[in-house]
A and B are shown apart, each in its own frame.
Chain A
Amino acid sequence: MELIWLVPAFPLAGFIVLALGRSLPGKAAGAIGSAAAGLSAASACAVAWLFASGGKAPYSTSLWPWLDLGAASPALALSVDALSIVMILVVTIVGFLIHLFSIEHMEGEEGYHRFFAYMNLFVAFMLILVLADNFLLLYLGWEGVGLCSFLLIGFWYGDRANGDAARKAFIVTRVGDVALLLGIILIAANLGSLSLSESPRLASAAWGRGSGIAVLAAALILGGALGKSAQVPLHTWLPDAMAGPSPVSALIHAATMVTAGVYLVARTNAFFSLAPQVMTAVAVAGAVTLLVAGASALAQRDLKRILAYSTMSQIGYMFLALGAAAWTGAIFHLATHALFKSLLFLAAGAIINALGHERDVLAMGGVAKKMPLLFWTFLAGAFGLTALPPVTAGLASKDAIIARLWYAGGDARLLWWAAMAGVLLTSLYTFRMLFLVFAGASRGPRASGHSAMGASTALPLVVLAALCLVGGLVDFPRVLGGEPYFGAFLGGALPASADTGATAGQELLLSLAPLLLSLAGIPLAWLLAKRELATEAGPALRARGSRLAAFVRGGFGFDRLYDFAFARPLSRLAGKGVDPVNLASEGLRSMTLRASRRLASTQKGPPGRYLAALAVGAVLLLAAALI
């Protein structure tokens, strides 16, 4: 267990070796990068095994003292408990598979070293974030992860658009990070401790439930989470983040970074349970994002943007679960989502590469015939996403969340309806994507591309697909004959969700409802795809619905709103960088110069003026004498 620091150390070492060793031959960089990720995964499994067999006792080790904020003195310390074990397993295993996949996928790219260096750095920061023992170290990982997403989104920095997308991602998440930082300072100032284990205890002791300070702290933490997990209102950066390479989208914008927000809320659940108002806010944010993203995904034409919006809506589910205090359900969905969403992204990357960088789904088609392996793995991922029977990953986690909402009763019922709508939307956009990409004749002009897949590309896809199939069993609902091992495992770290007290029949019905809804979605999606292909041909039909489609495709106008509210006034305010204070000092300077020039003219003007002045002076003096 003491070797826990090895887990983040391997990718960090990989980063340093790759960053300094620019002269390494191409292939070696990929190998080193993947090796680092692999070793980290191995050590993570070892630690998990030791943890599980060692009686699941939380363990923390401190490397060196960092600084002290008043009473709180956060150190660079890593701590392990059930929650962080799950997270490091997800991060390292999925990370390793993605590294393997990108060896071949990124071949021939210009910054090959740079890519693997940043990917390793990302895994290192993510692990630091997850293993952090105190808020400050978590914040270090938090910002580091944001930095790597900036570097990797803007990987092909030759094109300005990628750079802008990367900057947008970093700045929008920075808004959330500042909220989190203020929250950390608030906690340090009021509780005197930043430790992730003690501060919740101190908080529940010191702060009353629903008191102002508790609500403020929870809200600030939620701000940070919303930014990083791309939930409404800080979600506009995720669709643009697709400018990065596909493995990046798979690792960062599907499996790990975007779920950091969920991890943070789960980790600080004590603060949230102290502030019920904020809990409802979490649920509402989740529900809103769920619907907005689902609808937008339906209208997208770019394959990766569909998956981006789908990720946003799935995380909406997780926030919904957190809002309903189903902590273990959220984390379980996080894990399964990481599996099938990274699978979908990797497969999408392979498809785009195979079709010569064609991203528009309407211009694809017939891929199933050409690349059957891709089709079957993509199908597995899609079934996971829409929680259909053979693939158990999505089924177990999502249905648990929806069921929990029903039992919560009261206005949570409203959230239940939103979740059900979400299920329908999910299956609609997933199968629309499936039909457009795989079914029918190949519509794309450039069907060439290297479709042959090497072992290092195929292996990760197959492994991920297998994990999707098996994944759900880990926490299958008892009513369907499963056993909630996962819930039990996490019991130590997260408060158990209240017993639902529902009869077996009710439970069965509740898990079947979403299933039926998903199945109903398939034919609808087929019709939708057909109509869309038709309208693609006939412009008349397209004109009518186009403005609404454009609005929905644009993510419900959030982008334009933020641009109008923040970006444009700020750049206008900054103007050409003309500094009014500087103008004031320049003005002062020219004023004094003008005054001195005017005074000087009394000294060197034509003599006639002096004579006149003399005469007038004399006359005036005489007059004064007379009066």
Chain B
Amino acid sequence: MNLQAIPLGLALFIVIPLACGLASLVLGGRSSAPGRLAAARAATLAGSLACLLLAAAAWLGGAVPARLELAWIPSMGSSFSLSLDGLSLPFLALSGLLGAAAVLASWKGIGERVPSFHFCLSLTLAGINGVFLASDLFLFAFMWELMLVPMFFVIDIWGHEGRHRAAVKFFIFTQAGGLLMIAAIAGLYAAHGAATGEYTFAYDRLLGTAGGLGQTLQFLLMLGFFAGFAVKLPAFGLHAWLPDAHTEAPTAGSILLAGLLLKTGGYGLLRFAIPLFPDAARAFAPVAMWIGAAGILYGGLMALGQSDMKRLVAYSSVSHLGFVLVGAYSLNEAGRNGVVIQMLSHGLSTGALFMLIGSLQDRIGTRELGRMGGLARAAPRMGAFGLALTLALLGLPGMGNFVGELLVLFGAFKAEAAVAVAAGLGLILAMAYALRMFQLAFHGEAKEKRSVADLSAIETGTLALLLAALLWIGLYPRPVLALLSLALPGIAGGTAP
């Protein structure tokens, strides 16, 4: 199925969620009649499923790499150019899948102002798809902001108790990083213009400019990009916003946040920060890897002490995405593959875990591990999924996370052996906090007498789907790896074998 043939082609990935978002607004309207609300939810669900199908069709139909170039602001040299290649396709599929999961998770969870909630979800999805597709730096910055604002509203309006503070903190952190990135984009744009006289934002033409720049300028621009992405992928030190945002966001918000928004940081590193400034990246690599390793150990240690389940999973995300930083800056093929698989499986496993925690909170009204206990006996299906996802969290071989972490460790081992050892210790911490979480919640004596209804059909189905995807990546990652080899030449894989 050749995407270029269809009108708008790649832009469908952005247009569909937007259209469905508007549709859910229109369908939902002012009334709170269940029928209309269901229609609103169905519209957004259809939107994300359509994206998933489109991605799958592109994957099977071998329509990779596809391009779309529309004039946007010619005077400034920026065009609405999207490019689909091996690196962005898996993430688009993930965004479709998790988008659908988010809508299903909030089917009963979100009660008030449903249409606007789904509009915000769709807008975020459109922004995310845009980020993964944009191959024009100006468009990339635009999409980066587009995906941030609705997410702020999702947390701020539909979140839990301390939502406002968390939403503002999330916004300021990401915006500060984003501004640094935009400054770097402008710097690169100007430098390229000065050097070649041609002022353009196009990614392919900007690829070669870094060589000509002075050493310090190149390093500074690279740092600008790195800052923007390091805040998003919470690197150690810049992660203060993640636990609050996760704890206060509604279930759907958490799924999108953990599943996709964190991935845009890692994707940005692979697509922009490293290929655009190869020498600076090589110089900065050891520092970045040690930051990643610190993130792994620090995230694990913090997760060990948490009593709030969502906060614990948030810190585990800091730890897991520390691997992404280590893998990206090991600057070799294995590291890059590991990073993509780690992000895909983290998206699936953490998304599913948040869905589980969300449904758990709807049933027992709390996220405090101290007040849970003995849930496996009361809700065996939930216990089974809880166990499976905990095993994914601690990287049991046979699950996607293990393959990602193994490849990252292998890549890191060849680049910086000490970092690989430190990251390996992170695995032990991962097991400690994952098992602690599982046993406090599902095993032991039930602290409070309550009757817990087991998972409903929708929830079981979605969780089973996500788990199946995880097992598929874990046991047969070859198709995903094959896809990555189709990535554009600019990707980090090129520097060291």
Complex: chain B residue closest to A579, CB-CB: B302
Complex: chain A residue closest to B376, CB-CB: A157
When the two chains form the complex, which single residue of A64, A67, A189, A577 contacts B306, counting CB atoms closer than 8 Å? A577
Q: For the complex formed, measure the closest distance between the CB of A141 and the CB atoms of chain B, giving whole angstroms.
A: 9
Please tell me if the beta carbons of B334 and A170 are within 8 angstroms of each other in the complex. Answer: no
B407, B443, B476: which has the most chain A beta carbons within 10 Å? B443
Complex: chain B residue closest to A72, CB-CB: B410
Complex contacts, A22 vs chain B, CB 8 Å: 380
Complex contacts, A70 vs chain B, CB 8 Å: 334, 410, 414
Query: Is B282 positioned at the interface, with any CB of A under 8 Å from its CB?
Result: no
When the two chains form the complex, which single residue of B298, B304, B334, B377 contacts A69, counting CB atoms closer than 8 Å? B334
Given contacts A67-B481, A182-B424, contact A585 B304 (CB under 8 A): no
0/1 interface trace, chain B 225-268, chain A, CB 8 Å (1 if under): 00000000000110111011000000000000000000000000
Please tell me if the beta carbons of B413 and A189 are within 8 angstroms of each other in the complex. Answer: yes
Given contacts A581-B239, A582-B243, contact A189 B443 (CB under 8 A): no
Query: Is A576 positioned at the interface, with any CB of B under 8 Å from its CB?
Result: yes
Q: For the complex formed, measure the closest distance between the CB of A26 and the CB atoms of chain B, giving whole angstroms.
A: 16
Query: Is A253 positioned at the interface, with any CB of B under 8 Å from its CB?
Result: no
Please tell me if the beta carbons of B425 and A178 are within 8 angstroms of each other in the complex. Answer: yes
Interface pick from B98-106, B181-189, B430-438: B430-438
Please tell me if the beta carbons of A178 and B424 are within 8 angstroms of each other in the complex. Answer: yes
Please tell me if the beta carbons of A571 and B397 are within 8 angstroms of each other in the complex. Answer: no
> Which A residues between 166 and 183 are near B, CB-CB below 8 angstroms?
167, 170-171, 174-175, 178, 181-182
Please tell me if the beta carbons of B413 and A174 are within 8 angstroms of each other in the complex. Answer: no
Query: Is B409 positioned at the interface, with any CB of A under 8 Å from its CB?
Result: yes
> Which A residues between 575 and 599 are near B, CB-CB below 8 angstroms?
575-579, 581-582, 584-586, 589
User: What separation, in Å, do the CA atoms of A178 and B444 have in the docked complex?
Assistant: 28
Given contacts A167-B436, A582-B243, contact A144 B398 (CB under 8 A): yes
User: What separation, in Å, do the CA atoms of A147 and B413 have in the docked complex?
Assistant: 26
Query: Is B192 positioned at the interface, with any CB of A under 8 Å from its CB?
Result: no
Please tell me if the beta carbons of A69 and B406 are within 8 angstroms of each other in the complex. Answer: yes
Please tell me if the beta carbons of A170 and B169 are within 8 angstroms of each other in the complex. Answer: no
Given contacts A186-B413, A573-B301, A585-B169, contact A178 B420 (CB under 8 A): no
Please tell me if the beta carbons of B396 and A185 are within 8 angstroms of each other in the complex. Answer: no
User: What separation, in Å, do the CA atoms of A406 and B169 have in the docked complex?
Assistant: 71
Please tell me if the beta carbons of A69 and B410 are within 8 angstroms of each other in the complex. Answer: yes
0/1 interface trace, chain A 71-89, chain B, CB 8 Å (1 if under): 0000010000000000000
Query: Is A526 positioned at the interface, with any CB of B under 8 Å from its CB?
Result: no
Please tell me if the beta carbons of B439 and A154 are within 8 angstroms of each other in the complex. Answer: yes
0/1 interface trace, chain B 285-323, chain A, CB 8 Å (1 if under): 000000000000010011011110001100100000000
Query: Is B269 positioned at the interface, with any CB of A under 8 Å from its CB?
Result: no
Complex contacts, A188 vs chain B, CB 8 Å: 410
Q: For the complex formed, measure the closest distance between the CB of A127 and the CB atoms of chain B, giving whole angstroms.
A: 15
Given contacts A157-B443, A157-B444, A584-B240, contact A167 B410 (CB under 8 A): no
Complex contacts, A76 vs chain B, CB 8 Å: 475
When the two chains form the complex, which single residue of B244, B376, B421, B428 contacts A175, counting CB atoms closer than 8 Å? B428
Query: Is A107 positioned at the interface, with any CB of B under 8 Å from its CB?
Result: no
Please tell me if the beta carbons of B410 and A582 are within 8 angstroms of each other in the complex. Answer: no
Chain A contact surface mostly:
helix
Query: Is B427 positioned at the interface, with any CB of A under 8 Å from its CB?
Result: yes
User: What separation, in Å, do the CA atoms of A66 and B472 have in the docked complex?
Assistant: 11
Please tell me if the beta carbons of B240 and A67 are within 8 angstroms of each other in the complex. Answer: no
Query: Is A608 positioned at the interface, with any CB of B under 8 Å from its CB?
Result: no
Please tell me if the beta carbons of A158 and B374 are within 8 angstroms of each other in the complex. Answer: yes
Query: Is B403 positioned at the interface, with any CB of A under 8 Å from its CB?
Result: yes
User: What separation, in Å, do the CA atoms of A22 and B396 have in the docked complex?
Assistant: 25
Complex: chain B residue closest to A589, CB-CB: B169
Q: For the complex formed, measure the closest distance between the CB of B454 and the CB atoms of chain A, giving whole angstroms.
A: 11
Q: For the complex formed, measure the closest distance between the CB of A344 and the CB atoms of chain B, giving whole angstroms.
A: 29
Query: Is A455 positioned at the interface, with any CB of B under 8 Å from its CB?
Result: no
Please tell me if the beta carbons of B243 and A67 are within 8 angstroms of each other in the complex. Answer: no
Please tell me if the beta carbons of B243 and A579 are within 8 angstroms of each other in the complex. Answer: yes
User: What separation, in Å, do the CA atoms of A181 and B406 have in the docked complex?
Assistant: 8
Please tell me if the beta carbons of A68 and B481 are within 8 angstroms of each other in the complex. Answer: yes
Complex: chain B residue closest to A585, CB-CB: B240
Q: For the complex formed, measure the closest distance between the CB of A148 and the CB atoms of chain B, giving whole angstroms.
A: 11
User: What separation, in Å, do the CA atoms of A65 and B445 have in the docked complex?
Assistant: 44
Complex: chain A residue closest to B405, CB-CB: A181
Complex contacts, A8 vs chain B, CB 8 Å: none
Q: For the complex formed, measure the closest distance between the CB of B207 and the CB atoms of chain A, giving whole angstroms.
A: 27
Query: Is A139 positioned at the interface, with any CB of B under 8 Å from its CB?
Result: yes
Query: Is A384 positioned at the interface, with any CB of B under 8 Å from its CB?
Result: no
0/1 interface trace, chain A 1-26, chain B, CB 8 Å (1 if under): 00000000000000000010010000
Query: Is A160 positioned at the interface, with any CB of B under 8 Å from its CB?
Result: yes
Complex contacts, A157 vs chain B, CB 8 Å: 376, 439, 442-444
User: What separation, in Å, do the CA atoms of A65 and B482 have in the docked complex?
Assistant: 12
> Which B residues between 432 and 462 are near A, CB-CB below 8 angstroms?
432, 435-436, 439, 442-445
Complex contacts, B380 vs chain A, CB 8 Å: 22
Query: Is A57 positioned at the interface, with any CB of B under 8 Å from its CB?
Result: no
Complex: chain B residue closest to A567, CB-CB: B432
Query: Is B109 positioned at the interface, with any CB of A under 8 Å from its CB?
Result: no
User: What separation, in Å, do the CA atoms of A448 and B398 have in the docked complex?
Assistant: 47
Query: Is B478 positioned at the interface, with any CB of A under 8 Å from its CB?
Result: yes
Complex contacts, A160 vs chain B, CB 8 Å: 444-445
Please tell me if the beta carbons of B240 and A163 are within 8 angstroms of each other in the complex. Answer: no
Complex: chain B residue closest to A158, CB-CB: B445
Complex contacts, A447 vs chain B, CB 8 Å: none
Given contacts A139-B397, A140-B397, A582-B240, contact A576 B305 (CB under 8 A): yes
Please tell me if the beta carbons of A167 and B435 are within 8 angstroms of each other in the complex. Answer: yes
0/1 interface trace, chain A 270-301, chain B, CB 8 Å (1 if under): 00000000000000000000000000000000
Please tell me if the beta carbons of A577 and B305 are within 8 angstroms of each other in the complex. Answer: yes
Please tell me if the beta carbons of B391 and A574 are within 8 angstroms of each other in the complex. Answer: no
User: What separation, in Å, do the CA atoms of A333 and B478 have in the docked complex?
Assistant: 41
Please tell me if the beta carbons of A67 and B397 are within 8 angstroms of each other in the complex. Answer: no
Query: Is A570 positioned at the interface, with any CB of B under 8 Å from its CB?
Result: yes
User: What separation, in Å, do the CA atoms of A23 and B232 have in the docked complex?
Assistant: 46
Complex contacts, A139 vs chain B, CB 8 Å: 397
Please tell me if the beta carbons of A178 and B240 are within 8 angstroms of each other in the complex. Answer: no
Please tell me if the beta carbons of B431 and A171 are within 8 angstroms of each other in the complex. Answer: yes
Complex contacts, B413 vs chain A, CB 8 Å: 182, 185-186, 189
Q: For the complex formed, measure the closest distance between the CB of A184 and the CB atoms of chain B, giving whole angstroms.
A: 9
Please tell me if the beta carbons of B403 and A574 are within 8 angstroms of each other in the complex. Answer: no
User: What separation, in Å, do the CA atoms of A154 and B440 have in the docked complex?
Assistant: 13
> Which B residues between 144 and 173 are near A, CB-CB below 8 angstroms?
169, 173
Please tell me if the beta carbons of A189 and B410 are within 8 angstroms of each other in the complex. Answer: yes
Complex contacts, B481 vs chain A, CB 8 Å: 67-68
Complex contacts, B477 vs chain A, CB 8 Å: 66-67
User: What separation, in Å, do the CA atoms of A205 and B364 have in the docked complex?
Assistant: 62
Query: Is A507 positioned at the interface, with any CB of B under 8 Å from its CB?
Result: no
User: What separation, in Å, do the CA atoms of A67 and B405 have in the docked complex?
Assistant: 13
Query: Is A399 positioned at the interface, with any CB of B under 8 Å from its CB?
Result: no
Please tell me if the beta carbons of B428 and A171 are within 8 angstroms of each other in the complex. Answer: yes
0/1 interface trace, chain B 463-477, chain A, CB 8 Å (1 if under): 000000000000111
Complex contacts, A67 vs chain B, CB 8 Å: 403, 406-407, 477-478, 481
B306, B315, B431, B442: which has the most chain A beta carbons within 10 Å? B431
Query: Is A143 positioned at the interface, with any CB of B under 8 Å from its CB?
Result: yes
User: What separation, in Å, do the CA atoms of A64 and B380 have in the docked complex?
Assistant: 33
Please tell me if the beta carbons of B439 and A147 are within 8 angstroms of each other in the complex. Answer: no
Lowest 8 CB-CB distances: which A-B pairs, in order? A574-B305, A577-B305, A157-B443, A585-B240, A574-B304, A140-B397, A577-B306, A582-B240
Apart from A158-B445, A171-B431, 6 more pairs, CB < 8 Å: A66-B477, A67-B478, A163-B444, A189-B413, A574-B305, A585-B173
**Can you list 14 A-B contacts with CB-CB less than 8 angstroms, sorted by A residue number?**
A65-B478, A66-B476, A139-B397, A144-B398, A158-B374, A158-B444, A158-B445, A171-B435, A178-B424, A185-B406, A185-B420, A574-B302, A577-B304, A578-B305
Give chain B's interface residues, CB within 8 Å of chain A.
Answer: 169, 173, 236-237, 239-241, 243-244, 298, 301-302, 304-307, 311-312, 315, 334, 374, 376-377, 380, 384, 391, 396-398, 403, 406-407, 409-410, 413-414, 420-421, 424-425, 427-428, 431-432, 435-436, 439, 442-445, 475-478, 481
